[in-house]
Amino acid sequence: MMEYDPTRPKWQQIADVLRQRIFSGEYPPRHQLSEVQMESEFGVARVTIRKATAALREQGLITTVTGMGSFVADPDGWNEEDDQGGV
């Protein structure tokens, strides 16, 4: 479990980690993001994970398909300038 900076919301810090994994290629395009797995990894509630994924979705880094989950988007849809705190 990661150590959180008490001066920033946890969802922002989780979004930063996920963003870094996407940009580095650790999470390639079409990789599925599991909310259950992230809850366990980051030790937070599902609502916190959903706030983090919503931020990534706004940036075009992930897409969410109802009933299927969230997936890493193709790089041509990414908006790297619309950053919520840096990579």
Cα gap 72→64, rounded to integer Å:
9
How many domains is the chain partitioned into structurally?
1
**Per-residue model confidence as pLDDT tens digits over 48-81:** 999 999 999 999 999 999 999 999 999 887 776 5
Which uninterrupted H or E stretch holds 33?
strand 32-33
Residue 81 lies in a domain: no
| pTM attached to this predicted model | 0.86
According to the model, what pLDDT value does residue 80 have? 62
Closest CA to 16 of 51, 68, 65, 66: 51
Cα 85 from Cα 43, distance rounded (Å):
21
pLDDT at res. 76: 85
Task: Give the CATH number for residue 37.
Answer: 1.10.10.10
Q: Is residue 85 part of a domain?
A: no
Q: Tell me if 27 is assigned to some domain.
A: yes
Residue 47 lies in a domain: yes
Domain of residue 53 covers 10-76
Residue 26 pLDDT: 97
